[in-house]
Structure 1
């Protein structure tokens, strides 16, 4: 029962008809709304020539958040790995000193 859902999303004063899996609807609608909100911010804050410029800035903003999230995650993993190795060394040292007695 892979029934598809037909929806229409409005982005930058254009309507985009889509055929999607029903499980995607909420995410797509939220994404379209976030694009609209950010586009309005850019239009109000900067002198933009056309919607393409606004949409390019939106794409850059969202892509940079994703990339930065990946960088932050990698840094967190490295930090956790260092801490776990330090803890492992302490445990080994503690166990070795107990075995000496």
Structure 2
């Protein structure tokens, strides 16, 4: 699985990239989501400057990513606590 050259269009600008074949679909999908979000923001807000729209888009996606990471960490901590409780119960059970 080697690298390929692709061109991605984001906010009416073309970016040539070299990506692994495994990443191509994800990158194309990400570019599509970004362009859809920019279009949505253009329709809903009085902002027309592409740089401002890109900044707003990045802020929204970064905020979502941070929330998802925090949620995953919280779930991991809860799972870890449950495992320790189960381990303690099993240890007590087998001591009897």
TM-score (norm 1): 0.82
Consecutive unaligned residues in structure 1, runs of 5 or more: none
The answer to whether structure 1 residue 72 and structure 2 residue 71 are counterparts is: yes
Match of 2:13 in 1: 14
Q: Which has the larger radius of gyration?
A: 1
CA contact (8 A) 2:4 2:18 kept: yes
Number of residue-to-residue matches in the alignment: 96
TM-score (norm 2): 0.85
Displacement after TM superposition at 1:74 (Å): 0.9
Equivalences for residues 1-101 of structure 1 within 5 A: 2=2, 4-96=3-95, 98=96
Displacement after TM superposition at 1:49 (Å): 4.1
Consecutive unaligned residues in structure 2, runs of 5 or more: none
**Take 1:40 and 1:67, find their aligned partners in 2: how far apart are those partners?**
23
**Take 2:81 and 2:50, find their aligned partners in 1: how far apart are those partners?**
46
